[in-house]
C-alpha cells in the first residue's frame, strides 16, 4: 500500500529503478496513514494523568484534603439547609448541667469506670489470644523465594528472552550540527562494534553530527555512521572504542515467520529506554511506503512484517524478536492517526506496527559494512505511484524526461513496454507501484523473477533477471 505521513505526500522513491514518477498528492484525511517512527526529541516524555492531555478537577488544589464539599452542601460545622438545629449540618449544643445531689451522678461515673475496665480487659484478652494463635489460624500462605530475587527465568519465557536480549540493545542519540535530533534504538550486529538501526534514526548525524549509543547498564559510547540506505531505511553505525564483551543478537529467518507467531519488541518509546512489549505477527508481506514527512526526505519501501506489539516513536531501529529470542525484523513504522497525542504532535501505537524483515536487513547491513553504500535490485522501468488496485503501471516517461524503460535494461530485455501493467512478481500480487518496489527490494541483484503483466487486456508472463544500482542517488 502506498501511504502517507500524517497528511504529507509520500516522497518519490530513490532513483533505483523501478523509478517512480512524481506521486500525486494523496487523498486528504489521516486515518490510515503510515509513518516512520520518528526519533524522539531529547528530554523526558510529557506525562498526563488519566490519559494524554486529561485534566480533571476535584474542586480543590492538588494535595488539599479534605476537598471542599460540592456547592450547596453545608460544611460539618455549619447549619443545614433548613436552618440551625436541623439535619447533618446542625451545630452541636452542649447539654445543660444536671442539678447536684442524689446518687445518680455517682452511678453514671461507676458505669463509665466499669466500662473502661471492661474495655481494657477485652482489649488485653483479644491481644493475648491473637498473639497466642498467630500463624495457627491464618489462611495466608507465603511462597518460598527459591532464588526468585535473582530474576532468573526459563529461556522460553518472555522474561527469559528479554533478559538475554536487553544487554545487546542500545539507545541511540543522534544530533545534527544545528542541535536537532532525537532518540532511537539499535542492536549489536557483530563483535566488532557494528550496530544496526534505521536510517531515519541516524539521519541527523550523517553529515558531521554527534552520535552515541547507551547500553542498559549505563555504558555510553560515541559512534559513527558506517553506511545508510534511505530506500531500505537501514543504517549501520560503529561504536568507537567498542568493548570486548559485545554479544550480537542471533538472527532468525523472516521467511519462515507465520501469522500468529509471538513477537517481542525492544526499544525506547518516547525516550523510555529498555522498554519491552509483546504481541504477535499480524500479517506478512505488507506493502509499506513511509517517510519522516520532511520535504527533503525520500520514501522507504518495504514488504513488511506487521505486528500488534506496542511500538511507538523511539522504538525505531529496535529488534523485533521471535518467541525464541531471534531477531526477525527491525521496527520501523507505525500506522498513524490524525492529530498525534502525548503532547508532542506524534501519534502513538494503535496496534499496527511494521518491521523490515531481517533477511532483507541483514543483506543491506552486510553491504553497508563492506562498502558503505547500499545496493538495490532493479527492473529498469519507471512505474506510477498512484493509488491503484489494478497493478503497477509502467509510465510513458521516466523521471527527468528519461526513458520509462531503460534501454538494454532487465525490463527491456524481457520485452516490457510503457503502458504495461505489472500484476504479479513471482507469486506476490502487485496492486500498485510502491508494492512492486517493496517486493523487488526483497530480492538481490541477479535474482531471477517471474513477471506477470497485462497489455491491451491480454495477460503475459516473462522471466526477468534483476539488475543492480549502487547508492541512494
What amino acid positions are annotated as catalytic residues? Answer: 200, 233, 316
Contact assessment for residue 169 and residue 183, using Cβ atoms and an 8 Å cutoff: no
CA dist 443 and 34 (Å) reads 23
CA dist 301 and 233 (Å) reads 8
CA atoms within 13 A on the CB side of 333: 34
CA dist 408 and 378 (Å) reads 13
Q: Residue for cell digits 498513524?
A: 336
464 bridge partner residues: 449
Q: Residue for cell digits 534505521?
A: 198
Contact assessment for residue 249 and residue 327, using Cβ atoms and an 8 Å cutoff: yes
CA dist 375 and 358 (Å) reads 16
Strands 262-267 and 275-290: what pairing?
A: antiparallel
- Residue 328, all three cell numbers: 526477525
Q: Which helix (H) or strand (E) holds 135?
A: none
Contact assessment for residue 180 and residue 188, using Cβ atoms and an 8 Å cutoff: no
> Do you find a cis peptide bond into 266, omega within 30 degrees of 0?
no
Beta strands (DSSP E) in 379-446 are 392-393, 421-425, 428-429
How far are the Cα atoms of 97, 110, 130, 149, 425 from residue 118, in angstroms, in the given order?
A: 27, 12, 18, 48, 92
How far are the Cα atoms of 22, 24, 33, 177, 335 from residue 27, in angstroms, in the given order?
A: 15, 9, 10, 36, 16
CA dist 307 and 326 (Å) reads 16
CA-based max dimension of the chain: 128
Amino acid at each position: 500500500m502506498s501511504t502517507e505521513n500524517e497528511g504529507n505526500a509520500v516522497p518519490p522513491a530513490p532513483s533505483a529503478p523501478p523509478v517512480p514518477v512524481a506521486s500525486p498528492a494523496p487523498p486528504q484525511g489521516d486515518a490510515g496513514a503510515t509513518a516512520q517512527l520518528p526519533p524522539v526529541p531529547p528530554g523526558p516524555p510529557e506525562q498526563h494523568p488519566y490519559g494524554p492531555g486529561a485534566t480533571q478537577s476535584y474542586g480543590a488544589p492538588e494535595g488539599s484534603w479534605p476537598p471542599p464539599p460540592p456547592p450547596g452542601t453545608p460544611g460539618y460545622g455549619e447549619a443545614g439547609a433548613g436552618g440551625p438545629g436541623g439535619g447533618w449540618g446542625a451545630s452541636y449544643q452542649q447539654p445543660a448541667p444536671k442539678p447536684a445531689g442524689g446518687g445518680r451522678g455517682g452511678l453514671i461515673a461507676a458505669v463509665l469506670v466499669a466500662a473502661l475496665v471492661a474495655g481494657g480487659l477485652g482489649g488485653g484478652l483479644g491481644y493475648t489470644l491473637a498473639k497466642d494463635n498467630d500463624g495457627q489460624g491464618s489462611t495466608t500462605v507465603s511462597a518460598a523465594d527459591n532464588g526468585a530475587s535473582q530474576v532468573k527465568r526459563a529461556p522460553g519465557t518472555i522474561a527469559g528472552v528479554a533478559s538475554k536480549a536487553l544487554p545487546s540493545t542500545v539507545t541511540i542519540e543522534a544530533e545534527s550540527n544545528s542541535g536537532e535530533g532525537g532518540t532511537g534504538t539499535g542492536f549489536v550486529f557483530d563483535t566488532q562494534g557494528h550496530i544496526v538501526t534505521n536510517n531515519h534514526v541516524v539521519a541527523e548525524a550523517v553529515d558531521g553530527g554527534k552520535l552515541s549509543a547507551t547500553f542498559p547498564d549505563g555504558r555510553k559510547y560515541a559512534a559513527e555512521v558506517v553506511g545508510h540506505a534511505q530506500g531500505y531505511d537501514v543504517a549501520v553505525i560503529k561504536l568507537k572504542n567498542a568493548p570486548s564483551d559485545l554479544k550480537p543478537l542471533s538472527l532468525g529467518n523472516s521467511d519462515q515467520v507465520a501469522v500468529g507467531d509471538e513477537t517481542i519488541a525492544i526499544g525506547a518509546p518516547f525516550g523510555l529506554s529498555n522498554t519491552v512489549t509483546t504481541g504477535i505477527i499480524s500479517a506478512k508481506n505488507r506493502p509499506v511506503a513511509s517517510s519522516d514527512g520532511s520535504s527533503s526526505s525520500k520514501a522507504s519501501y518495504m514488504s513488511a512484517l506487521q505486528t500488534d506489539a506496542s511500538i511507538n516513536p523511539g522504538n525505531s531501529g529496535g529488534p523485533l524478536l521471535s518467541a525464541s529470542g531471534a531477531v526477525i525484523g527491525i521496527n520501523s513504522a507505525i500506522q498513524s492517526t490524525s492529530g498525534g497525542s502525548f503532547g508532542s504532535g506524534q501519534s502513538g501505537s494503535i496496534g499496527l506496527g511494521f518491521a523490515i524483515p531481517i533477511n532483507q536487513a541483514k543483506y543491506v547491513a552486510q553491504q553497508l559494512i563492506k562498502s558503505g553504500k547500499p545496493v538495490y535490485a532493479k527492473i529498469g522501468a519507471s512505474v506510477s505511484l498512484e493509488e491503484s488496485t489494478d497493478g503497477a503501471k509502467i509510465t510513458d516517461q521516466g523521471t527527468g524526461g528519461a526513458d520509462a524503460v531503460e534501454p538494454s535494461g532487465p525490463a527491456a530485455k524481457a520485452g516490457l513496454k510503457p503502458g504495461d501493467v505489472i500484476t504479479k512478481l513471482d507469486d506476490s500480487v502487485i496492486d500498485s507501484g510502491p508494492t512492486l518496489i517493496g517486493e523487488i527490494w526483497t530480492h538481490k541483484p541477479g535474482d531471477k523473477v517471474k513477471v506477470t503483466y497485462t497489455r491491451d487486456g491480454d495477460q503475459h508472463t516473462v522471466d526477468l533477471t534483476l539488475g543492480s544500482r549502487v547508492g541512494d542517488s
